């Protein structure tokens, strides 16, 4: 590996999707869920498409996001339009179920551990 690349810190980040559980309420993702994720990751981006995620909580190198999206800028409307969504694909594939208490539980665990989750504009505080 070239020396200049060896000096770059590890860029891996752990991403959690907010508000969902594996469909069988297991603690691990199914092979079907992994296939859906792999399909989205390998999806070729067309001109103007980009990856996006709305980060709700960042703790060290772990992010909790609403979903991971493929968006495309539309010059006519001057807006980014969602072209694909990991959470939507997982729901359609019956690989996940909704977990409405996820953020509330995460917030409680963080508070118990001495971490404060700052208020995010557009989000209702649960406590």
Q: Considering the domain boundaries, does residue 2 fall inside one?
A: no
Q: Considering the domain boundaries, does residue 126 fall inside one?
A: no
Q: Considering the domain boundaries, does residue 69 fall inside one?
A: yes
Say whether pLDDT at 109 is over 90.
no
Q: Percent of the chain at pLDDT above 90?
A: 23
Nearest Cα to 99, choosing from 30, 27, 31?
27
Q: Considering the domain boundaries, does residue 55 fall inside one?
A: yes
Report pLDDT digits (tens) over 52-67.
Answer: 988 888 877 788 888 8
Say whether pLDDT at 69 is over 70.
yes
User: What are the backbone dihedrals phi and psi of residue 106, each rounded to the nearest 5 degrees, phi first?
Assistant: -60, -45
Q: Residue 71 sits in which domain range? A: 12-112
Which of residues 25 and 16 earns the better pLDDT score? 16
Q: Considering the domain boundaries, does residue 127 fall inside one?
A: no
The alpha carbon torsion through 14, 69, 123, 74 (nearest 10 deg) reads: 150
**pLDDT for res 124:** 37
Domain count, the chain: 1
Q: Considering the domain boundaries, does residue 122 fall inside one?
A: no
Work out whether strand 62-74 and strand 79-85 pair parallel, antiparallel, or are unpaired.
antiparallel
Three-state SS at 2: coil
Residues 110-126 have a mean pLDDT of: 63
Q: Considering the domain boundaries, does residue 36 fall inside one?
A: yes
Q: Considering the domain boundaries, does residue 67 fall inside one?
A: yes
Confidence tier at 70 by pLDDT (50, 70, 90):
very high
């Amino acid at each position: 590996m070239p020396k200049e690349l060896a000096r770059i810190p590890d860029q891996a980040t752990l991403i959690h999707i907010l508000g969902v559980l594996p469909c069988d309420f297991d603690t691990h993702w199914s092979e079907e869920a992994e296939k859906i994720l792999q399909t989205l990751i390998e999806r070729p981006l067309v001109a103007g498409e980009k990856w996006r995620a709305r980060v709700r909580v960042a703790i060290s190198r772990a992010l909790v996001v609403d979903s991971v999206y493929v968006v495309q800028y539309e010059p006519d409307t001057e807006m980014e339009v969602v072209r694909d969504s990991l959470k939507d694909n997982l729901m359609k594939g019956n690989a996940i179920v909704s977990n409405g208490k996820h953020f509330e539980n995460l917030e409680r665990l963080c508070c118990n551990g001495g971490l404060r989750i700052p208020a995010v504009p557009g989000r209702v505080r649960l406590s």
